[in-house]
Chains A and B, each alone.
Chain A
Amino acid sequence: DVKVTQSSRYLVKRTGEKVFLECVQDMDHENMFWYRQDPGLGLRLIYFSYDVKMKEKGDIPEGYSVSREKKERFSLILESASTNQTSMYLCASSGSKQGGGELFFGEGSRLTVL
């Protein structure tokens, strides 16, 4: 079974704190993604990575950064959390050789910033 694991399901942080969201995939996929899910706004792409140490900005990268030191791990970093970053964060991966564009998602990390 393919698996994308997000280490923290629920987090509560204070404004200004640094937040790390970790994601690990076991499918040897080249591509990894971080999305943010908000009611009425759907899934919005924050950052993606198509190779180790490579990253590209998505549609809403402001206030976020990412790190991909190993192929299986993709981290999302909030340098200074703000209340408008309260959201559900979804990690996904895909293999470029698969064709078809299937993304495999983790179960999400719900972040609350107080």
Chain B
Amino acid sequence: QQQVKQSPQSLIVQKGGISIINCAYENTAFDYFPWYQQFPGKGPALLIAIRPDVSEKKEGRFTISFNKSAKQFSLHIMDSQPGDSATYFCAARGGGATNKLIFGTGTLLAVQP
């Protein structure tokens, strides 16, 4: 019940295309859903996040779509660029003051020029 399932494991997209990464969860107590981006040799960094009372959040080319009834959320990268090539992790927070996050298994995105 504490898992966050992420797919696909890897993704190849052409420059200018749309990248879509999906995550699903079981625990309805999760109250915050961030996406982290990790470049090679670096630690993950927060990219965008959403709370369950909102169905969509957009920041530039990055959009989170959230389906509370299906317990699913996804990251869409519009007009994908080679500089977006990275590993993406979805996550969910179980609540409480410690900000403990449960991470998905990650998606390695390669955007081809």
Binding site for A on B (CB under 8 A): 2, 6, 9, 32, 34, 36, 41-46, 49, 89, 93, 97-106
A50 pairs with B103, CB closer than 8 A = no
The answer, yes or no, to whether A46 is at the interface (CB within 8 Å) is no
The chain A residue sitting closest to B104, CB to CB, is: A42
A90 to B106, CA, bound (A): 15
Cross-chain contact of A43 among B9, B32, B103 (Cβ < 8 A): B103
Q: A41-B105, A42-B106, A100-B32 are in contact. Are A105 and B99 (CB under 8 A)?
A: no
The answer, yes or no, to whether A83 is at the interface (CB within 8 Å) is no
Interface size on A, as a range, is: 20 to 34
Give a binary string over A68-81; 1 marks a CB under 8 Å from any B CB, 0 the rest: 00000000000000
Cross-chain contact of A101 among B43, B93, B106 (Cβ < 8 A): B93
The chain A residue sitting closest to B49, CB to CB, is: A100
Query: Residues of B contacting A40 with CB < 8 Å?
Result: 9, 105-106
The answer, yes or no, to whether A102 is at the interface (CB within 8 Å) is yes
Question: In residues 73-108 of chain A, which contact B (Cβ within 8 Å)?
Answer: 90, 92, 94, 96, 98, 100-103, 105-108
> 5 A-B Cβ contacts within 8 A?
A43-B103, A45-B101, A48-B100, A101-B32, A103-B46
